[in-house]
Amino acid sequence: MRHGVLIILLFLFSFSSLRGQSYLSPDEAVAIGLENNFSVKISRNTLQIAHNNNTAGSAGYLPTVTTSGSYNENLNSSRQQYYDGRLREATNSKSNSFTAGVALNWTLFDGFGMFVEDQRLDELELSGEAELRDQMEAVVSEIITTYYSLVQQDRRLKVLYDALQFGHNRKALARQKFDLGISSELDYLQAVADLNADSADYLRQQADLLRTKVALNNLLVRGATVTFTTVDSIGLLPDLTYEELSNPLIDQNATIELAKRRQKIAIYETRLARSVTYPQLNFTAGYSFTKSTSAIGLVESNRNYGPNAGVNLSYTLFDGFRNRQRIRNARLSEQNAAIALDETLQAIQSTLYTLYSDYRAQQQLVALEKSNVTVVRNNTRIALDKYRLGELNDLDLRQIQLRQIEVENSLLQSFYQVKVLETELLRLSGRIIR
């Protein structure tokens, strides 16, 4: 009777914990995660930085305009002797000067560097977009797999709850047989021990379920104690074909797109290094105003003002081979970026094929284990009837029960593995985020 009460309490605890909990669908979990996830926020800010930097001024198209001004005042003592014998002396005579001006400097030609820099900044922004999408897809994949891991853990808890009910029925029958003298006390005690073992498994599964729920809340950047319910089964998409996954791979995979952008950036950096080998032509213009006064001297005050303009052509004849070294290193970086792109393509294509093969194998395993579950459930039902009639001993009944638990958990694991593989295949093909 004590174990029957324990089962009821466990069920009531599970039922009462569900009351008042909000329902969380997979789509809602993904939406919350993309809004709150720290890594996604950092990637968004990084993209915004790249967008802010992508301007005409940053590329070098626009001139620079500066203004300046100064004021100086001096106290000087002087003694001036002229050729005609005159002498002029002054003590603490004041003189001052005021200067103000505005200047414009505009690079008209820099070896096409400004055009290359403009293209490079565009690619940096596009690279930021690819990096954000790659990060978002990784977060979505992790949220989905964790969400359905929680569903799997919950289903396992239900399997163990059914095992507890079965164990309680077996204990009651064993007690009746012992009271009637049909079986020994050892059989009854063994039924009690097996029920205790199943109760411990149930409690451990509850702990696993709680850990998975906390992990999902962490991914969604919510409090660890936030309670919610999920879907009650692992839903699978219609069969995916290899062609529909592999055909858009090169154009839609975020990791490949990021590698492509990095290769283009390396090409533009090589061109920037080469642009320094050309002459540079600058246009300058400005307006200046200068006024000075002096208590002693040939003139009492002097004022100059007016515009100015000019062009400046410069060419570096020799810089200690530093730019030649920069060009060589930029070419090597460009080669490395191309190699990295080839490596990424090779790795992702191989991963896609391997995962798809696993996906098909797991699908077949699910179909097989579905039929196994039907068989073992019938076996357990028949075995319990035979146990009631005394045609089956406790050891054989326990082995049949454990086999049912094993097969049902194996089916849940297979369903989950198909979902994990399905999610990863969608991520690789660039279809996980619509």
3-class SS string, the chain: CHHHHHHHHHHHHHHHHHCCCEECCHHHHHHHHHHHCHHHHHHHHHHHHHHHHCCHHHHCCCCEEEEEEEEEEEEEEEEEECCCCCEEEEEEEEEEEEEEEEEEEEEEECCCHHHHHHHHHHHHHHHHHHHHHHHHHHHHHHHHHHHHHHHHHHHHHHHHHHHHHHHHHHHHHHHHHHHHCCCCHHHHHHHHHHHHHHHHHHHHHHHHHHHHHHHHHHHCCCCCCCCEECCCCCCCCCCCCHHHHHCCHHHHCHHHHHHHHHHHHHHHHHHHHHHCCCCEEEEEEEEEEEEEEECCCCCCEEEEEEEEEEEEEECCCCCCCHHHHHHHHHHHHHHHHHHHHHHHHHHHHHHHHHHHHHHHHHHHHHHHHHHHHHHHHHHHHHHHHHHHCCCCCHHHHHHHHHHHHHHHHHHHHHHHHHHHHHHHHHHHCCCCCC
pLDDT > 70 in the chain, percent: 90
pLDDT band per the 50, 70, 90 thresholds, residue 369: very high
Residue 92's pLDDT is what? 65
Q: What is the pLDDT of residues 234-243, one digit of tens each?
A: 999 999 999 9
pLDDT > 90 in the chain, percent: 78
pLDDT band per the 50, 70, 90 thresholds, residue 292: confident
pTM of the model: 0.85
Asked if pLDDT for residue 74 goes beyond 90, the answer is no
List domains and CATH numbers for the chain: 2-60+110-279+315-428 (1.20.1600.10)
Asked if pLDDT for residue 434 goes beyond 90, the answer is no
Lowest mean pLDDT among 209-213, 294-298, 303-307, 393-397: 294-298
Residue 259's pLDDT is what? 97
